[in-house]
Amino acid sequence: MVSLTASLRRLATVTGPGQTAATQQVYQDAVMYLLEHDPFYGRVLSQLTVTMGAALAPIGLAPTKTGWQLRLSPGALAASRWTGAQWLAMLRHTVLHLVWQHPTRYATALKAPQQAALVRWATDAAVNDYLTDLPAGAMTSRRLQDMMGRSLPRRADSAVYWRELRQWRMSARSGHHLTRRGPTPVGASADRWARTVQAATVSDDHQGWQAANDGDAAQREQWRQQVLRTTAESLSAKQRGTLPGAIQAALTVTPAQHPLDWRGRLQRHLGQVPTGRQPAYGRFNRRQPWRMELPGQTTATWQTIQIFVDESGSMGNREIGYLLGQLASLLAIYPAPVTVYPFDTVVHLQARQRLTGRVTVRQRVGGGGTRFQAVFDALPRLMRTGGRQLVII
């Protein structure tokens, strides 16, 4: 720890091209320390690509096409005057943003200037409550509580703080905002608001998050899950015990033990279209009610079902065969006709099939990419007939 503080002090005296090499060395020393004393954070950081560049904040996450990378600013880190403990705290801080999916969850909200301020405070407070030795001015739930003048839960999810901050901001605009320091003027300028936000968020950069909801978001999320899963699996029981419960919960995915039996749900009279009557022992026989061995009658119902089957290139023949098997099981228990639409990037309306009782055509259609939006675009046109309809994708 002493050597990290000394390295950061030496970094503050380096100028020019040598600053990048010194920053790289300080980062490597910090990762080595975490691998020995706090292996979860060290192992996650060791799997992040590091880039150097000029920025207002010393550290931040930036998206790539296949994952996330760590962006360091040598100049900002040299000017931060952080100690070794504070440097380690900010590295942990960045990893926790990744654990709780903050870049992806708030990518859209960060694009609006007023929302961006609240998002930065909310996400930093949710993360910093689990950390110690934070830099001066770091946002925590206690600091939010003092600023807003209202009670806030500690170690809550960022969505809780974001909701409270939005309500507080709206009350401030309407002139009903009161803090422990007295009323806030309704006409407070946007410049003052921006300066307040900047002063509270200079420790790490959130601007790179804005590009997290592009077309590569699914691939980045897969990479994030793989990194965290392999890291969690590589930790011993003793090492896992050093992590707070909320972090362990985020790393441990509990699969559903009892998946929904959708075919059984369809079988239980979900429709409203009468199709005649069927015998039922739960009803009295209207002609001879004293004879309990005779069944009564109930109205048989069904509803229109439209099924969209993904036949894109990413779906193998085995997966499509499994889906056809599920469809055959549905047709065996459901008396109404079912319309099946294959789709990939578009819905192939000309290849739709109206099936009754069994699957007749087993020819593959499509083969391009997958675009679920095409299904939602086609639904208004396909559901004009009215009545109760069910769509299965």
Domain count, the chain: 2
Same domain flag for 14 and 98:
yes
Same domain flag for 370 and 241:
no
Indicate yes or no: pTM above 0.75. no
Q: Which of 251, 271, 304 is the last residue of a domain?
A: 251
153 found inside a domain: yes
Q: What is the CATH number of the domain that holds 344?
A: 3.40.50
267 found inside a domain: yes
Distance CA(309)–CA(355), nearest Å, equals 14
Helices 113-128 and 158-174, axial angle in degrees (round to 10): 140
Same domain flag for 275 and 235:
no
Same domain flag for 232 and 294:
no
Going residue by residue through the chain, which has 393 residues, state the pLDDT in tens, using 9 for 90 and above. 558 999 999 999 988 888 999 999 999 999 999 999 889 999 999 999 999 998 889 999 999 988 999 999 999 999 988 999 999 999 999 999 999 999 998 988 888 887 888 899 999 999 999 999 999 889 999 999 988 888 899 988 998 999 898 888 887 766 544 443 333 444 444 444 445 555 555 688 898 898 887 778 889 989 999 999 888 888 876 776 567 777 877 777 665 555 666 666 665 555 555 656 778 887 888 788 888 888 888 766 666 778 888 887 777 777 777 777 777 777 776 666 778 888 888 888 888 888 776 666 666 676 667 788 888 888 888 877 655 677 888
257 found inside a domain: no
334 found inside a domain: yes
Same domain flag for 279 and 232:
no
How far from the centroid of its chain's Cα atoms is residue 221's Cα?
A: 8
Same domain flag for 197 and 343:
no
CA-nearest of 310, 358, 353, 311 to 333 is 358
Same domain flag for 230 and 300:
no
Same domain flag for 223 and 113:
yes
Same domain flag for 335 and 221:
no
Q: Which of 205, 232, 251 is the last residue of a domain?
A: 251
99 found inside a domain: yes
Distance CA(264)–CA(275), nearest Å, equals 19
296 found inside a domain: yes
Show the domain range for 314.
Answer: 262-392
Same domain flag for 222 and 337:
no
CA-nearest of 327, 332, 308 to 383 is 308
Same domain flag for 309 and 340:
yes
Terminal Cα-to-Cα distance of the chain (whole angstroms): 55
256 found inside a domain: no
Same domain flag for 241 and 284:
no
276 found inside a domain: yes
User: What b/e readout covers 108-141, taking b as 16+ CB neighbours within 10 angstroms?
Assistant: ebbeeeebbbbbbbbbbbbbbbebebbbeebbbb
Q: Which of 251, 285, 312 is the last residue of a domain?
A: 251
